[in-house]
Structure 1
Amino acid sequence: MKLMSIAAVASILVLLACAPWCVYSQERFLVRMTLVRNAPALGAFCLDGSLPAYHLHRGFDNGANNWILYFEGGGWCGDIKQCLGRAKTGLGSTNHMNKWAIFSGILSNNASLNPDFYNWNRVRLRYCDGASFAGDGKFANGTSLLYFRGQKIWEAIILDLLPQGLANAHMALLAGCSAGGLATFLHCDNFTRMLPNASVKCLSDAGFLLDERDVSLNHTIRSIFEDIVSLQGVEQNLDHKCTKSMNHPKLCFFPHYALKYITTPFFVLNSAYDVVQFHRFLVPSSADVEGKWKNCKHDPAACSADQIAILQGFRRDMLEALNFFLKDSKSGGTFINSCFAHCQSDAQESWFAVDSPRIRNKTIAETVGDWYFTRGEAKEIDCEYPCDTNCHTLTPVHQVPDCAKCGSVGNKTLTSKAGSHDRIWSKYSPILVVLLLP
């Protein structure tokens, strides 16, 4: 009996010691989808013609008049074949999406897991256009029909939310991850103009994409982005100050070039070794036909000295591209860590947990909160890999199930069996990000 009592007490002490973080892996706070019924009046449709959508969880107490709008990520499509395929999935049609979305990390309603924003109105904007909510066009050839209406989707969602309290917002934060992080750069100042009486700021997570040559010196990402801009009619919606200043206006789709023209206070959250940029743009399969990077992509510890040097060069280029922002922006914030990761704001493990990534012992959530509420210094830059000892990286995913029926939530996938296809996180593990790109 004494042994049992000791064991019971020990169990309770463990639970108390890890609370609240030991709870987050088991709890799944789900919010139901809302279709934008008036979207057709604006010509706002997903790729397949279905209605756009969002998920809203109401704020409460002193957060009742504050708002977070969060763009989902999920890659892009830059040719008709890609977009037709995408239109048959949850990344191109609300008909194929799961009708419930996980709200975690920056969208959590738990004060212990999201101390600064838990009681705000939190909105997840569903991504179904394939051009970071920025296109405005249509494709029709008598057989197939595709709507490239990301810009109108953005406008339709805003118009739907304004009478629900967004128009009376005191504070607002526009945020997003990956392709949604890129959308934050594209729509930040526009969002500020829509809320003239609110204190508005913007945050991009894993969206600071560089106009960088790949390891074979080809412009892989530039070619992809130019195709997206051309196909989906994005150029007309890019920042005009940027497009007028560039010899190639389409390049203003890159946050790399757009950031200097944004006047709204901005926060850049990114890994210096962002795995999507590493795997898909810096070392695309076309530049590694012999598979020399295979082991390095699977596990950074397996990278050769020459490969590490290339990755360190990519990190230096990212910091150089941010140099003006770090020096000149008094209202800006950064958290550039050295984790091989992608999207860290909507995952509880990386946003705010007992073993979350830290720089100078500050979590991402604490740094973002300090920046938003001007509580102190919020420009954090990590040292080079492999110095960081508290990273979370993605475990390998060699096969992605056909989830046309279960849909997708950001970089996560929901099925009827909770978590079976969810994004899996593991400390110090190898990585592989699946992104819907050519």
Structure 2
Amino acid sequence: MMAASRPWLAFAAAAVVLSFVAVAAAGQADVDMVFLKSAVAKGAVCLDGSPPVYHFSPGSGSGANNWLVHMEGGGWCRNADECSVRKGNFRGSSKFMRPLSFSGLLGGSQKANPDFYNWNRVKIRYCDGSSFTGDVEAVETATNLHYRGFRVWRAVIDDLLAKGMNKAQNALLSGCSAGGLAAILHCDGFRDLLPATAKVKCFSDAGFFLDGKDISGNNYVRTFYKNVVNLHGSAINLPVSCTSKQSPEMCFFPQYVVPTLRTPLFILNAAYDAWQIKNVLAPSTADPKKTWNQCKLDIKSCSSSQLSVLQNFRKDFMAALPKPGQYPSLGMFIDSCYAHCQSGSQDTWFADDSPSIQKTQIGKAVGDWFYDRRVSQLIDCAYPCNPTCKNREDD
């Protein structure tokens, strides 16, 4: 496997470990794992053929009939070699998955997560490499690879419906990174599976991947997504509202999907998304001399010319976002941090020193939007204007 492709495979692994250590240190209890062994007979399996897994914390009190379903992130794999690497870790096999704690958006403390703390809270583990879109019947004989991400998603959702989600009063489909993209791609489908009387919305954290050129002028990410879609047979499971107008790989870019959605959406993203800058704007294939290495590690180390490129990236990102005035139900929190995924940790979700725009933290903005207290459409000024930023990657 080429070094250039590795970030797409395991870019969140280190962040997951750090996040796990942080919540463990805080004394939070692990959340039970549900191995969905019954799904195997339906072909709903991880890349290696192992059963899907989700973590479930049941709701209580006023949240007993409310459901928060969060999809884990972790990049994509575009060929058999990359997917085979994932088979050897939790990105492609449930054999390597371990219990974890919930924090941030999934946290169970009323003080730390006032709007969602007592809901039924679910985290779907990500082990397919296609943002839960793949569905290929044939199994590669040589590699024993199963491209079945959509079946995994549907099997978990069906299990949750049977657990009581079919009577949901409120529901939020969310995800981080590749899971944040999945929250957009599956948004309307999720809405259609729930009661017509339920309030159903979707929340994408760091899932708004930009259709943009890299620093060498190539459309690296377009080619990458085309390979992912072709390998996993994703086209049939992408929103028809987009694929009827665009080639399938273009529908991996939210800017072409979001305007077609029927279901209310909240977009949380850093305008200088750390992962996108490392892997979409300045991938190693576009920077053979590694002149961007220090800048990608720490935005404070960027040269003036590199900062100029980053400011242009922000302009392109802002231009790709849906226009708030055209979508009154759209929520947005676009800060100027150098970060990736900001809803999974308490200190970035809802704390006294969390990243904020107009003195509003992310958790407050999302809660206000979900409950229609206020449609938060918060857009930050350009870097380095926001002193509340925590410039790091989480998952």
- TM-score after normalising by structure 2: 0.92
What do residues 319-364 of structure 1 show as CA deviations (whole Å, max 9, x unaligned)? 111143x221111100000110011111111001121000000000
Could you say which residue in structure 2 is the equivalent of 1:231?
231
Amino acid at match of 2:43: G
Could you say which residue in structure 1 is the equivalent of 2:10?
none
Could you say which residue in structure 2 is the equivalent of 1:434?
none
Cα separation, partners in 2 of 1:43 and 1:369, compared to 1, 3 Å: same
Could you say which residue in structure 2 is the equivalent of 1:322?
321
Could you say which residue in structure 2 is the equivalent of 1:263?
262
Amino acid at match of 2:36: V
Could you say which residue in structure 1 is the equivalent of 2:209?
209
Could you say which residue in structure 1 is the equivalent of 2:382?
384
In structure 2, how many angstroms separate the alpha carbons of the residues matched to 1:217 and 1:61? 54
- Percent of pairs with identical residues: 46
In structure 2, how many angstroms separate the alpha carbons of the residues matched to 1:142 and 1:311? 44
Is the partner of 2:118 in helix, strand or coil? coil
In structure 1, how many angstroms separate the alpha carbons of the residues matched to 2:248 and 2:150? 18
Could you say which residue in structure 2 is the equivalent of 1:313?
312
In structure 2, how many angstroms separate the alpha carbons of the residues matched to 1:114 and 1:25? 19
In structure 2, how many angstroms separate the alpha carbons of the residues matched to 1:357 and 1:300? 17
Q: CA RMSD in A?
A: 1.6
Shift of 1:163: 1.7
In structure 2, how many angstroms separate the alpha carbons of the residues matched to 1:128 and 1:33? 14
Could you say which residue in structure 1 is the equivalent of 2:179?
180
Amino acid at match of 2:250: L
Amino acid at match of 1:283: A
Shift of 1:118: 0.2
In structure 1, how many angstroms separate the alpha carbons of the residues matched to 2:170 and 2:267? 19
Matched ranges for 1:128-147 at <5 A: 128-138=127-137, 140-147=139-146
In structure 2, how many angstroms separate the alpha carbons of the residues matched to 1:66 and 1:200? 10
In structure 2, how many angstroms separate the alpha carbons of the residues matched to 1:33 and 1:86? 20
Q: Is the Cα contact below 8 Å between 2:23 and 2:101 reproduced in 1?
A: no
What do residues 90-117 of structure 1 show as CA deviations (whole Å, max 9, x unaligned)? 010101111x122000101001110100
Could you say which residue in structure 1 is the equivalent of 2:366?
368
In structure 1, how many angstroms separate the alpha carbons of the residues matched to 2:24 and 2:361? 16
What do residues 30-56 of structure 1 show as CA deviations (whole Å, max 9, x unaligned)? 102101122023210100000001011
Q: Is the Cα contact below 8 Å between 2:72 and 2:126 reproduced in 1?
A: yes
Amino acid at match of 1:374: D
In structure 1, how many angstroms separate the alpha carbons of the residues matched to 2:203 and 2:139? 36
Q: Is the Cα contact below 8 Å between 2:222 and 2:249 reproduced in 1?
A: no
In structure 1, how many angstroms separate the alpha carbons of the residues matched to 2:293 and 2:153? 38
Could you say which residue in structure 2 is the equivalent of 1:241?
241
Q: Is the Cα contact below 8 Å between 1:70 and 1:125 reproduced in 2?
A: yes
Query: Unaligned 5+ residue runs, structure 2?
Result: 1-21
Is the partner of 1:55 in helix, strand or coil? strand
What do residues 177-201 of structure 1 show as CA deviations (whole Å, max 9, x unaligned)? 0000000011000000000331100
In structure 1, how many angstroms separate the alpha carbons of the residues matched to 2:212 and 2:375? 30
What do residues 370-412 of structure 1 show as CA deviations (whole Å, max 9, x unaligned)? 10011124000000000010111228xxxxxxxxxxxxxx83x
Which runs of 4 or more aligned residues in structure 1 lie more than 3 Å from their structure 2 counterparts after TM superposition? 22-25, 138-142
Is the partner of 2:158 in helix, strand or coil? helix
Could you say which residue in structure 2 is the equivalent of 1:426?
none
Is the partner of 2:244 in helix, strand or coil? helix
Shift of 1:139: 5.4
Q: Is the Cα contact below 8 Å between 1:138 and 1:146 reproduced in 2?
A: no
1:69 paired to 2:83: no
Shift of 1:221: 0.9
In structure 2, how many angstroms separate the alpha carbons of the residues matched to 1:291 and 1:239? 38
Instruction: Find the structure with the greater CA-based Rg.
Output: 1
Could you say which residue in structure 2 is the equivalent of 1:338?
336
Could you say which residue in structure 2 is the equivalent of 1:418?
none
Is the partner of 2:351 in helix, strand or coil? coil
In structure 2, how many angstroms separate the alpha carbons of the residues matched to 1:295 and 1:203? 32
Shift of 1:86: 0.5
In structure 1, how many angstroms separate the alpha carbons of the residues matched to 2:81 and 2:141? 15
Q: Is the Cα contact below 8 Å between 1:356 and 1:391 reproduced in 2?
A: yes
Selected match of 2:345 from 344, 347, 367: 347
Cα separation, partners in 2 of 1:41 and 1:141, compared to 1, 3 Å: closer
In structure 1, how many angstroms separate the alpha carbons of the residues matched to 2:322 and 2:55? 36
1:38 paired to 2:38: yes
Shift of 1:232: 0.3
Could you say which residue in structure 1 is the equivalent of 2:97?
97
Amino acid at match of 1:198: A
Shift of 1:158: 1.0
In structure 1, how many angstroms separate the alpha carbons of the residues matched to 2:34 and 2:24? 25
Matched ranges for 1:277-316 at <5 A: 277-316=276-315
In structure 2, how many angstroms separate the alpha carbons of the residues matched to 1:249 and 1:142? 27
Cα separation, partners in 2 of 1:273 and 1:163, compared to 1, 3 Å: same
Q: Is the Cα contact below 8 Å between 2:329 and 2:375 reproduced in 1?
A: no
Number of residues paired by the alignment? 373
1:86 paired to 2:86: yes
Is the partner of 1:123 in helix, strand or coil? strand
Could you say which residue in structure 1 is the equivalent of 2:9?
none
Shift of 1:138: 4.9
In structure 2, how many angstroms separate the alpha carbons of the residues matched to 1:65 and 1:135? 30
